[in-house]
Amino acid sequence: MNIPQRFVWGVGAFLLFVVQIPASAQVFSPEDTGLNYSVTVGVALMVSENLKSESVPMVGASWYEVAGANFGSNATFGISADWLQVERSNGRDVNIIPMLFNYRQYGTISSYRIFVNFGVGILATTDAIPEMKLDNGSNFGWTAGLGADITNSFYFQARFIGSKNDGLVSVQLGYRF
């Protein structure tokens, strides 16, 4: 089993565990308090071994809003965009911009507020990246991840951002405002 498959299975198992935990009355999404926007900084770790870049800096921005009663009291929908630059095996730098529509579900483990995130959208590239099987322009993209709130404003998240055939793992620190 390769790294993306292990990550997806791990997130799935974690999600099954989280939905079994009853939410307490004190659990709420930060978006309930008006913290809808966020910026993130972190690192992207390449799954493809054929790229010169093994890890690169990654920055992003997102907006989330409470999903409504039909989706549960701790669910949010949002849009996110990130930016990273990878170096192909021929030495050429290519920008990747994942633009995704996301679903986030909050829960608790012990006294910690955690969340899982799933999304679909577009991976925009400034040139083809054959090592990742990405065409020049727009490509199908998806994400699955989990995170934990440090405070209402600061959080940590780890995500797998994939395409049809390949992807990357991101580890990020975020700030909500």
C-alpha 83/C-alpha 94 separation (Å) is: 11
pLDDT 10s digits, 112-136: 899 999 999 999 999 999 988 899 9
Q: With contact defined as beta carbons under 8 Å apart, do 81 and 99 qualify?
A: yes
Residue ranges per structural domain of the chain = 3-176
pLDDT 10s digits, 76-99: 999 999 999 999 989 999 999 999
- How much is the pLDDT for 23? 43
- The rounded Cα 71 to chain-centroid distance in angstroms is 20
- How much is the pLDDT for 96? 96
C-alpha 105/C-alpha 107 separation (Å) is: 7
Q: Report whether pLDDT(53) > 60.
A: yes
Three-state SS at 50: coil
- How much is the pLDDT for 79? 98
Fold of 3-176: Porin (2.40.160)
- Residue with more model confidence, 94 or 30: 94
Q: In the numeric block, which tokens belong to residue 146?
A: 């989990």
Of 131, 139, 64, the C-alpha closest to 96 is 139
C-alpha 94/C-alpha 126 separation (Å) is: 6
Half-sphere exposure of 147 (CA within 13 A, CB side): 28
Q: Torsion over CA of 99, 146, 154 and 162, rounded to 10 degrees? A: -20
Tell me the whole-structure pTM to 2 decimals: 0.81
